[in-house]
Amino acid sequence: MQFEAGSLTGKMMAGAALVAAVTAVSPAYAGYYDTLPEEARRNIQDYLVWTGHYDAPIDGSIGPQTVAAIRAWQEDNGYGSDGVLAVGEAEAMGEAARSAYKTAQFTIGTDGDAGLTYGLPYSLVSVVGENEWNGLNFADPEKTLRISSFRIADMSTEKVETFSEHVFEDVPGFETSAVRFENGVLTIRGGDSTEILRMDAKLFGDQLRGIFVWMDRDLVGQNGHLLAAMTNSLDLAPVETPSLFASSPSNEDGMRAISLPNAPSDGEFPNGSGTGFVVDTNGSILTNAHVVAGCGRVEVTGLGEAQVMLEDDSLDLALLKVNGARELKAATLSSDEPMLGEDVFAFGYPLPQALGSELGFSRGSVSSMVGLRSEPTQFRMTASVQPGNSGGPLVDEEGRVIGMVTAKLDAMAVANATGDIPQSMNFAIRSSVLRDWLKAQNITFEATDRHDEYKRASAVAKDAADYTHQVVCYEE
């Protein structure tokens, strides 16, 4: 099981961005939330999940259910329950959410047996072992919180509907309170007199993949928010053979002892995350210096722990070395300059909490040959980027890395200063700067000239997925 960053960017990054967005809007209820960026709306819902006031999809749609949750939070915390978040309220809600998230040590992992990614509260549960449903079992020591993943084959829409009707009929005392199967997503809620159960699953081809969660009713008051957090973290992933869990035989009874190689321990908690890309086959990875600034430990998802070999704050570049990595797929850099107007693709891991831990892709174009304040080491482009994209490759239509994503303009700050909201103002470090810097570090890399031999976007994305990785920073 490979662990991604915690289900947020590591800092529940909405704080400044959300407060800035709230500041920029006149506090009138009608249409208020429609004026906020989708990122801010998602973060509001995410905060409400972690304060225990919202149990629904984090989708950025602020409707009656979300507004009701905002009002409930305001009332519980002594604010006027008008459903409109003021700046101070957004700050207080974010602080409470971050505290709950950190206390839970909530971490998203990729379960190669069940073909899923999902988040688990590692302050409470640990691995128990494999189960008979092609999945894994987790529990706390008292078995008051139990989670099981599963992957059931030979399923269809009709079979899922039948399954949902009968799956718990032999469980003594169990009563189903809600069953919903829509657009391939199955949701079951129920329980008995002592515990509640949630089942969330997705039909993928002929496989139903999902998780069961049992929680004692006595725990719901204090930990009920974890149920909504786990539900929102669930997503599909490749089925891995063998399992990506580390395992070793037990000397006592021959049972496999399964451990989680990247699970937080001794209070360790992700402090942030970004993106990096492989530049040679021996484990050298390039990212932004600000991604790894102040990290006590750095993990590269899917590869393992990495050492920060060099940081250059002036260029915002850092070189990582993955311990023991060999024969990695490396990116090919562009040996010429970007062209104004050419199409580009940004790859990275934006907003892990809202969007999950799969590689993200966005398309845009080179819109200026210089960066902010005419910075010559950078250029401007329109591909959409978010927190978590920092350090990711910007790739041209031939599949060459022409730059590294480094920053986006603070639209709310500009709007406050000028009265106008800028659109698609994002920046990348030029490939020529990357090449010169790598040469100075004696790093061997591949670079090619432009040949006007364009690839499909899907082919470019397939190649980029092999050399682009999430970079996770842990606190000192």
Per-residue model confidence (pLDDT) at position 355: 52
Residue whose tokens read 């104004």 = 340
Average pLDDT over residues 209-215: 95
Measured distance CA(164)–CA(151) in Å, rounded: 15
Per-residue model confidence (pLDDT) at position 434: 95
Q: Which of 17-26, 85-94, 201-210, 239-248 has the lowest mean pLDDT?
A: 239-248
- Per-residue pLDDT tens digits for 396-420: 999 999 999 986 544 344 344 444 4
- Per-residue pLDDT tens digits for 108-150: 877 878 888 888 998 999 888 888 898 899 999 999 999 999 9
- Per-residue pLDDT tens digits for 251-274: 332 212 112 222 233 334 456 788
Say which residues have a Cβ less than 8 Å from residue 128's Cβ, sequence separation at least 6.
136, 137, 138, 139
Per-residue model confidence (pLDDT) at position 91: 84
Task: Examine the pLDDT at 227 and tell me if it is beyond 90.
Answer: yes
- Per-residue pLDDT tens digits for 34-48: 777 777 788 889 999
Task: Examine the pLDDT at 362 and tell me if it is beyond 80.
Answer: yes
Q: Which of 6-10, 218-222, 347-351 has the lowest mean pLDDT?
A: 6-10
Per-residue model confidence (pLDDT) at position 200: 95
Task: Examine the pLDDT at 351 and tell me if it is beyond 90.
Answer: no
Task: Examine the pLDDT at 279 and tell me if it is beyond 90.
Answer: yes
- Per-residue pLDDT tens digits for 73-89: 999 999 988 888 887 88
Q: Mean pLDDT over all residues of the chain?
A: 80
Per-residue model confidence (pLDDT) at position 85: 84
Per-residue model confidence (pLDDT) at position 266: 34
Average pLDDT over residues 299-326: 87
Per-residue model confidence (pLDDT) at position 345: 94
Per-residue model confidence (pLDDT) at position 415: 41
Average pLDDT over residues 379-406: 91
For the chain, how big is the Rg over CA atoms in Å? Answer: 23
Instruction: State how beta strands 317-322 and 284-287 pair.
Output: antiparallel
Measured distance CA(331)–CA(275) in Å, rounded: 14
Task: Examine the pLDDT at 20 and tell me if it is beyond 60.
Answer: no
pLDDT-derived band at 468, boundaries 50, 70, 90: very high
Per-residue model confidence (pLDDT) at position 189: 94
Closest CA to 362 of 317, 303, 408: 408
Task: Examine the pLDDT at 29 and tell me if it is beyond 70.
Answer: no
Closest CA to 217 of 240, 196, 239: 196
240 versus 119: the higher-pLDDT residue is: 119
pLDDT-derived band at 475, boundaries 50, 70, 90: low
